Amino acid sequence: MSPPLEWYLIFSALLFSIGVVGVLVRRHVLIIFMSVELMLNACNVALVAFGRHLDSLTGQNFVVFVITVAAAEAAVGLGIILALARHKDTVDVSEMDILKQ
């Protein structure tokens, strides 16, 4: 007996909300980035749950692509973070202010 669909969806919504709040309130670049990953994985949980509920493979299919995209994004994102940290010894977004006017 597996738990009903709603449980998975509530879990996924909670994960997604934690991710959104993390992006909005935290100032550390890596934590913000982790929060984005959390949002993507919240989507994955919901996709698998929906796929199981609908008895279709599309959901799991989608998850494979999402994981791939997340990996590509992480590679590029960490590269950008590294380039910036070399110039200025900080990972705090509130100190990235030279473009503000």
Q: Write out the residues near another protein by the rule CB under 8 A.
A: 9, 16, 19, 23, 29, 32-33, 36, 39-40, 42-43, 46-47, 49-50, 53-54, 56-59, 61-62, 65-66, 69, 72-73, 76-77, 79-81, 83-84, 87-88, 93, 96, 98-101
Q: Which amino acid is at 67?
A: I
Residue 92 CA, chain-centre distance (Å), reads 19
Phi, psi of 94 (to 5 degrees): -75, -10
- Least Å distance between CB 74 and another protein? 9
Nearer to another protein by C-beta: 11 or 77?
Answer: 77
Nearer to another protein by C-beta: 7 or 65?
Answer: 65
Cα pseudo-dihedral 22, 40, 46, 13, rounded to 10: 10
What is the C-alpha separation between 84 and 72, in angstroms, rounded? 19
- Least Å distance between CB 54 and another protein? 5
